[in-house]
């Protein structure tokens, strides 16, 4: 397998305190990887570094074989790296279709494979939102706002999709629907990197989990083995090997 994301000894600090500390991490093409850890572990900061919203103080980040450590977020998106936000922020005054059209127009700036309107419609279908294409985004419930966030990312035709707690705030039944949708995307060839506090959602579909604490990797590997490891149990529950 080919590594599509390579994070090599990356460090990022805020006000002198390291949030990501000498972290190395890679994702193989076609893989679905979950990232877990308590609040403050550095998970979203790591996603921001990969997406280009933040720049590391040390270390390098490669995407699809290219050094993107200092590359702008829009250029990374054009290269095939898309993300969803932890809190959906649609353009409330625009329709669902118009929101996704923004993503399709922006994402295909350098690699158009078809008219933006067609790509937007395709992304809405992938996210099960085609029937709400003409609905104002500001009237949507939480699940549909999450689906819209997903559709907007899909409209950029990503090779890798970064998901930041996309299941947060949903009911159990809604989480199940979302997991099935993300499973379908992964089966279709999209590489997934998913941060999530709802661990059973990750266990239902990812190939591998990385656990973080205070900006460092503390465990990585088979999802059930990682979540059952003493190091991860101690971080989450304060339960050591004893």
**pLDDT by residue (tens digit) across 33-52?**
999 999 989 999 999 999 99
Neighbours of 49 (CB within 10 A): 23
% of residues, the chain, pLDDT over 70: 94
> For the ranges 102-116, 121-135, 147-161, which has the lowest average pLDDT?
102-116
Residue whose entry in the numeric block shows the structure tokens 């239902």: 204
pLDDT at residue 115, as a whole number: 84
**pLDDT by residue (tens digit) across 172-215?**
999 999 999 999 999 999 999 999 999 999 999 999 999 999 99
- The reported pTM is 0.92
For range 212-236, the mean pLDDT: 93
**pLDDT by residue (tens digit) across 79-117?**
999 999 889 989 999 999 999 998 888 765 544 456 889
Neighbours of 166 (CB within 10 A): 28
Say how far apart CA 201 and CA 218 lie, in whole Å. 20
Tokens of 155: 């409209």
């Amino acid at each position: 397998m080919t590594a599509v994301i390579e994070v090599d000894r990356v460090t990022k600090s805020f006000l002198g305190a390291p949030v990501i500390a000498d972290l190395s991490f890679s994702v193989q093409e076609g893989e679905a990887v979950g990232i877990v850890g308590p609040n403050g572990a550095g998970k979203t900061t790591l996603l921001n570094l990969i997406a280009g919203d933040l720049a590391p103080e040390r270390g390098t980040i490669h995407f699809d074989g290219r050094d993107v450590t200092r590359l702008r977020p829009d250029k990374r998106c054009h290269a095939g790296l898309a993300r969803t936000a932890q809190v959906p922020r649609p353009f409330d005054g625009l329709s669902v279709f118009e929101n996704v059209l923004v993503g399709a127009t922006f994402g295909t700036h350098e690699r158009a494979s078809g008219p933006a309107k067609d790509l937007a419609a395709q992304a809405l279908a992938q996210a099960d939102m085609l029937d709400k294409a003409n609905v104002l985004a500001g009237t949507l419930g939480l699940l549909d706002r999450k689906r819209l966030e997903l559709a907007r990312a899909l409209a950029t035709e990503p090779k890798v999709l970064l998901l930041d707690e996309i299941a947060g705030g949903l009911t159990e039944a809604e989480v199940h629907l979302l997991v099935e949708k993300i499973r379908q995307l992964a089966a279709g060839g999209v590489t997934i990197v998913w941060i999530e506090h709802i661990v059973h959602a990750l266990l239902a579909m990812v190939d591998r989990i990385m656990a973080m604490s205070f900006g460092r990797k503390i465990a990585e590997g088979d999802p059930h083995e990682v979540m059952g490891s003493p190091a991860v149990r101690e971080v989450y529950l304060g339960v050591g090997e004893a």
